[in-house]
Structure 1
């Protein structure tokens, strides 16, 4: 497939089982990678993703995702994405913040609509206006409880601040963040990429701008497209409207290997629980750090192992967790996490007590050892491999267009500089697995290597505490009271003026004009 003159063709691969051909290109001037999935379908998909690697929990990547969508150079309006959602013929429009990447995808079956959306997306990501008022609206700000009355207390506001306050009130979210903080002691996954409510107010507007300039650059970008639009047409738009205005960046953003533990780690922390009776509200989870997700063979093996151990009530590890009597049932954190550069496997129970931690760990390790000693029925492994194959190939009804599902299948590998073509074309790996599972020692050997003999293991006990909410609220009010006491008259007026400006901004009536679709 002919490339635009600004791009070099690198390679291509036909995937017959999916009736697609995948192409890889590199932008000559900036080094931006472009993966195009050519398919005889009229629903075209575009995605641009950036490696975003936060070094703290102030939520910079999450707040930037929100703020970048609030107007740009060509579309300097308050909310172009909301307006396009209302007037566009799109079949999908969104933005995602993951732990180490931020992506902006859309899909449409109408070509004029597709190119209108492409105009908005390219301008929003590469030439975002990042107005300070939008940072205050989407990220965080202080206002007086009654906006015009400086005698009332200061309060924190902001879309992301409130969103994360709600998210981190969930025990499952606290459990996940606690586990990953210990599983990843040094890399970016140690931090809460969405933002910890107590840390978000520490993020400054200048830090947001610095993060945008260093991370939202073509050299740090991955473009992925799907459909029947000629690739040179797509690349001409990408080059002329964005990439041609940049030089290659000297900054190489990546996530290093995590420093591995030499012995297991066991921790106990608390979460806010306002129940009158705190009994049977403790969570116990074991987590292991596994090989790299860009190793497609290891990735599929890990998925198969997770299914064999945890898929249903007859799976050995899930059966043990369900029948142990140590808790009310398996934890929602059971399974494989494969979106990070290095995978992790976890299992746990909820509705337990603090003093059951050791018994829980022994149960899990003994169950795994039992599988190693006794083996697994080949028919069950074959059935799980078949289900894995179906799950990788089916067109699901989860609201994602088929083309976007394929793009997301390869995105993590592309972000981590792996091979997204191999991640999309899993047929050779499935054939290899069909041969490997014939060996009765195959599954036991994976359990032994990745779990039983792997010292990078973390046990987290998360117990309920009925004082945390009160203490957090008191600390927040105390910090805001101190902040208020230090405001000068001019700063007090600035707080009031900003509240007025934000209210006026919300009332603006704006339009985006395009050729009709």
Structure 2
């Protein structure tokens, strides 16, 4: 358990070699702010940096998403309109981006050139911790009102904005509406109840003052996780973190932890509409059943849920997928099928698209009856073995994904780091996989898991998402009425 030479502003916490990935993970904590730093040390010249922040919206104005865009529009030491675009043109980077998830925002980049890496690091640290958050950039990236013909005040007003337009496109997709409806019902009291990307009707409610307050609360080292990968010395990286950013901060309590959702004592049924811009609504309804499961930071629970998902849904021979593919209650399995484990609590979904509202109860019954039958009959050992093998492989395989391998590893460990779990354990799966193999050898393990996580779990919601040929027109009319009142 050797530690690398590190900067005195940081305290070494632990070191863990991971033979399967041919690297060592070192964990450090920044003394003054409590910021955490995980360094994945390996002899790969492809160096990766990511800073992640827990961002937990309390409404659907898209504040976290708009902030992610606005932060990159110039900072204290780089006050140009778009430092990122200028860097992309000049830099030798292999990856530059920013992501907003439902409960975190991350700013990663990668480069194989050391000088370029430190130049980019300079720009990223300044952008994240000392962004100008200019009001004009907020109007550009978030939302603003313009005349339809910009210089003619007699023309009607219209909403504009990069995120506003982006989310109008995203939320016109039935799968997005389906997922948003399901999660808002499964999470009545926590941040996942809201659309972190932003609901088009809510985005114009966001004020510049609210955006700045969100930035000051969450974009602080006390709320940050630094993750690095590659062959650069830890002390050099930490010297940059300290000199360019961290030394100017003292510890705060951002109070950003996501609480555990209050359990539903009985299943719920919800109906919602999505906009269909063609007259024929036959067999265009989505019916899904979703369950809230345990915490994603509980590695054993997460692997058990992954194993269960694989056994039920891996391929056409898997018992639940086979039923969903062949039933005449719907056209095909739902586009949001399976396990979502990137949030603090996991969600499992099963259902169909291409159905009708009056078949909703039958779809739910089919799913529950199928699960009951699998729990009673059990699952062939070779099917379980095949899924275990897949889980093990997915740990080690380097997928293309247009993303550097080191960044894929970092993003794999990030949700655990964000939610105060153990990203090292997530990356070093061998011990947890060995425990899972041992448990899975018991023929009753999968049946008991089905009962515990699904059949006996009352935190269940059935969503019926129906096509509505007039919804687009109603939304448009509401938006125009709002603009007319402003005019």
| Pairwise TM-score range, normalised by the shorter structure | over 0.9
Q: Does 1:124 align with 2:127?
A: yes
Alignment length (residue pairs): 484
Q: Secondary structure at the match of 2:84?
A: helix
Residue 470 in 1 paired to residue 473 in 2? Answer: yes
Structure 2 residue 419 is matched with structure 1 residue 416: yes
Please point out which of 339, 345, 363 is paired with 2:342. 339
Residue in 2 that maps onto 1:45: 48
Q: Deviations over 1:34-64 (max 9, x none)?
A: 0111001100000001110000000000000
**CA deviation map 1:476-499 (0-9, x unaligned):** 001000001xxxxxxxxxxxxxxx
Query: Partner residue of 2:16?
Result: 13
Q: What SS is found at the alignment partner of 1:291?
A: strand
1:194 aligns with 2:193: no
Indicate the residue corresponding to 1:495 in structure 2. Answer: none
Residue 272 (structure 1) aligns with: 275
1:472 aligned counterpart, secondary structure: helix
Q: Does 1:30 find its partner at 2:24?
A: no
Match of 2:79 in 1: 76
Query: What is the TM-score normalised by the length of structure 1?
Result: 0.93
* 1:151 aligned residue: 154
Q: List aligned pairs for 1:216-255, cutoff 5 A.
A: 216-255=219-258
Q: Structure 2: where are the runs of 5+ without partners?
A: none
Aligned to 1:378: 381
Matched, 1:460 2:463: yes
Question: Of 121, 138, 161, which aligns to 2:164?
Answer: 161
How far apart are the structure 1 equivalents of 2:231 and 2:444?
A: 46
Q: Provide the rounded CA distance (Å) in 1 between the counterparts of 2:144 and 2:173.
A: 24
- Which of these residues, 394, 405, 408, is aligned with residue 405 of structure 1? 408
Structure 2 residue aligned with 1:300, among 296, 303, 314?
303
Tell whether 2:290 aligns with 1:287: yes
The 10-residue stretch of structure 1 (81-90 or 213-222) with the greater mean CA deviation from structure 2 = 81-90
| 1:507 match | none
Instruction: Specify which of 326, 348, 360 is matched with residue 329 of structure 2.
Output: 326
Q: Does 1:181 align with 2:184?
A: yes
- The alignment partner of 2:61 has SS state of coil
Residue 496 of structure 1 corresponds to: none
Aligned to 2:114: 111
Q: CA shift at 1:252, angstroms?
A: 2.6
Secondary structure of the corresponding residue to residue 54 of structure 1: coil
Q: Distance in 2 between matches of 1:370 and 1:177?
A: 30
1:55-66 matches, cutoff 5 A = 55-66=58-69
The whole-number CA distance in structure 2 between the counterparts of 1:251 and 1:92 is 30
Residue 321 of structure 1 and its aligned partner are, at CA, apart by: 0.5
- Alpha-carbon distance, 1:3 to partner: 1.2
Deviations 1:175-231 (A, max 9, x none): 000000100000000000000000000000010000000000000000000011000
Q: Deviations over 1:443-476 (max 9, x none)?
A: 1111000000000000000000111100000000
TM-score when scaled to structure 2?
0.99
Q: Which residue matches 1:211?
A: 214
Q: CA RMSD in A?
A: 0.6
Where does residue 391 of structure 1 map in the other structure?
394
Give the CA deviation at 1:250.
Answer: 3.0
Report the Cα offset of residue 24 of structure 1.
0.7
1:247 aligns to what SS in structure 2? coil
Deviations 1:331-372 (A, max 9, x none): 011010001100010011000000000100010000000111
Partners of 1:350 and 1:411 in 2: how far apart? Answer: 32
Deviations 1:105-164 (A, max 9, x none): 000000000001000100000000111110000000000001111000000000000000
